[in-house]
Amino acid sequence: MTVTLENSLEITVPAHKEKERIDKFLAGKLPSVTRSKIKKLIDEHSVSIDGKAVKANHIVRPGEIITVVFPPALPHDLLPENIPLDIVYEDDHLIVVNKPAGLVVHPAYGNMTGTLVNALLHHSQILSGVGGNTRPGLVHRLDKDTSGLLVVAKDDLTHVHLARQLAERKIKRVYHAVVWGRFRKPTGRIEAPLARHPKERTKMVIHEDGKYAATNYKVLEELSLMSYIELKLETGRTHQIRVHLSSLGHPVFSDSTYGGRGRQLAGLNQERTAFVSRLFKKFNRQMLHAKTLSFIHPVSQEEMTFDSPLPQDMQELLHHLRSSRGV
């Protein structure tokens, strides 16, 4: 059981809990907080039981009430930038933003400006800090060339609660995509573990030793050479949708990383090759959009659902495909 106070959490150790160090116990209960952050909280006496600070090697016991106090976020060196944002919803605790394709979500080495985080820092003076100094507020992410909805936390408690919903698969995320080919079945489920590519570290691969991942799909419309589909995530691994669809032989249209561009021209006749080549020139990003986002508000406990219309480029692509069914 977890209770939210003004700037802290109270976590009750469940009955019949096996022996476990408190740092490991908290790591399981607070998936958005890094091990190093938990260690720092304990070292700074911000973790207590019955008002007494505990050490990292304390063994939790059933019924104990653990209090975790979150200090204000530390300052960072990131530059706030006046980059336009499509804010779908905002209150004192969180922001829901509709990210355009082409916008990197957070700063990284060699790319510290021009990101969604830089834009958020200009928009809001307060963002949660549990995700680290380069990812303030970010509960989850979208790839650079994926458009759609993201929820951002303004304070650490909101971040922790949303991250737990994410870890417990209570946040519902629905994507729409245009993919190559036609499916044998109108609905299906893809279950395949994902891991980092052993040589290309920016890519993911299906690997038996990877992390569990599951994606559900539904065909919305069959089109010329392609399909327009809906996807519901059970898990949220890096590049999950793109890798899973590619493994079925249905890569996302124009996804150059996972086979959605050039190699799809093989075997097409002259007319179809010319048609697809024109589409590649006009639509040069993966056609994947995070359309619907649902979660329980950490403070009001209200179930909130947001929907984002398809961006203009995806609408135009669908128009081209619907107008060229004979190709």
Q: Which residues pair with 172 in a beta bridge?
A: 294
Residue 23 CA to residue 113 CA, distance in Å, equals 34
Of the candidates 315, 116, 231, the residue with the CA atom closest to the CA atom of residue 242:
231
CB distance 148 to 292 below 8 Å: no
- Tell me the HSE value of 58 on the side-chain side, using a 13 A CA sphere: 22
CB distance 210 to 198 below 8 Å: no
For 229-290, give the secondary structure using H, E and C.
EEEEECCCCCCHHHHHHHHCCCCECCCCCCCCCHHHHCCCCHHHHHHHHHHHHHCCCCCEEE
Active site residues: 143
Report helix, strand or coil for 22: helix
R_g of the chain computed on alpha carbons = 22
